[in-house]
Amino acid sequence: MKLLLTGGCGFIGSAVLRRLLRTTEDIIINVDKVTYAASEDALEEGPTHPRHQLIRADICDHAAMTQIFATHSPDAVMHLAAESHVDRSIDGPGAFVQTNVVGTYTLLDAARAYWAGLPAERRGKFRFHHISTDEVFGALSLGEKPFTESTPYDPRSPYSASKAASDHLARAWHHTYGLPVIVSNTANNYGPWQFPEKLIPLMILNALAGQPLPVYGDGSNQRDWIFVDDHADALVRVLKHGQPGATYAIGARQPRSNLQVVHAICAALDARLPDPAGPRSRLIAFVTDRPGHDFRYEIDPSHAETTLGWKAVHNFDTGLAKTIDWYLAHRTWWETIRTQRYGGQRLGAVG
């Protein structure tokens, strides 16, 4: 299979790319604008791999997308390119509308024209896998059942609204034009190569530096956590075995409050590298909550587990241990990011 992968230099996209290179014979055309949160380092063996080609391009550029389809003639698309940080969407929603909505429309439109011109056999096998988030479903209160594939949409932030719009466009292209679209929605991802503005890497790096660990509100907001390699495995299975028109909710059944996550990070770091100044939990600092902060997300992955024969391998403890060990072993990468892009200062609260 020749696969067009958008956002392959991003956190989740690079995990998918590494899995495909290591477990399949697929050829990967990686289309990425390589914005601030992307990292070619995260491709690991990708840059020199004979089955991978990186094309620096913007998915909002219709001419470029049309040319890429015509030149590379892919058998499928995995669309991961997106702006994904909620705090950034509150401060600057325009970029999220542009990339997540306009970019998805542009890619769908180019894919539809390309797909319509394929021979019947290739047209029947073509797939467009659109990857999204559980945040499009809104927020859960304590005691409410987790999200499923049939949960109504209720986005609350500019980020989740832009992703909801992109989901609706993808499904509309399936129902209106027949484009064989599959949608998946997932929980909070964590693991190696995640950009340091996200909750888990931010807390790891601030704790190592002895800097405050800023937690929104009282830290009771809950998230469902999935190790990125487990998600990548699920996404590959969705692409290869999912049904056009279907939706797959991908989760690991590992809900934690933000405060629980931060305490777990502190305890794990204290066990590995004790701080002479005392337990790192002393660094936790509660800060003013962000606007419209959703209280709880959680996914019921039963449908994906049953239909795809997939289940997350990592529980939160094993995934977090792998993640912390990775950041400890890759100081040069994240120290460079913090120095070059943030002047070495701590980042803001997340979660």
The per-residue pLDDT for range 27-64, each reduced to its tens digit, is 999 999 999 889 999 999 999 999 999 999 999 999 99
pLDDT value, residue 282: 98
Is the per-residue pLDDT at 348 higher than 60?
Answer: no
Cβ-count burial 62-88 (b if 16+ within 10 Å, e if not): bebbbebbeebebebbbbbbbbbbbbb
Is the per-residue pLDDT at 271 higher than 50?
Answer: yes
Of the pLDDT bands very low, low, confident and very high (cuts 50, 70, 90), residue 346 is very low
Q: Does residue 149 carry a catalytic annotation?
A: no
Calculate mean pLDDT across residues 85-110: 94
Of the pLDDT bands very low, low, confident and very high (cuts 50, 70, 90), residue 293 is confident
Of the pLDDT bands very low, low, confident and very high (cuts 50, 70, 90), residue 347 is very low
Calculate mean pLDDT across residues 112-132: 98
Calculate mean pLDDT across residues 205-209: 97
- Closest by CA position to 202, among listed 98, 79, 55, 87: 87
Of the pLDDT bands very low, low, confident and very high (cuts 50, 70, 90), residue 8 is very high
- Closest by CA position to 248, among listed 237, 263, 259, 262: 237
pLDDT value, residue 59: 98
The per-residue pLDDT for range 179-193, each reduced to its tens digit, is 999 999 999 999 999
* Catalytic-role residue among 105, 159, 190, 297: 159
- Closest by CA position to 107, among listed 169, 51, 160, 52: 169
pLDDT value, residue 345: 46
* Catalytic-role residue among 26, 83, 87, 135: 135
Is the per-residue pLDDT at 151 higher than 70?
Answer: yes
Q: Does residue 134 carry a catalytic annotation?
A: yes
Q: Does residue 230 carry a catalytic annotation?
A: no
Do the beta carbons of residue 316 and residue 265 sit within 8 Å?
no
Whole-number Å distance between alpha carbons of 34 and 37: 8
Q: Where on the phi/psi map is residue 67: left (φ > 0), alpha (ψ -120 to 50), or beta?
A: alpha
pLDDT value, residue 85: 80
What percent of the chain is predicted at pLDDT more than 90? 91
Lowest mean pLDDT among 135-144, 164-173, 207-216, 286-295: 286-295
**Is the pLDDT higher at 84 or at 75?**
75
For the chain, list the domains and their CATH numbers.
2-193+227-254+295-314 (3.40.50.720)
Calculate mean pLDDT across residues 92-103: 96
pLDDT value, residue 87: 83
Give how far the C-alpha of residue 140 lies from the chain's centroid of Cα atoms, to the nearest Å: 20
The per-residue pLDDT for range 237-270, each reduced to its tens digit, is 999 999 999 999 999 999 999 999 999 999 999 9
Calculate mean pLDDT across residues 142-146: 95
Do the beta carbons of residue 14 and residue 43 sit within 8 Å?
yes
| pTM, 2 dp | 0.95
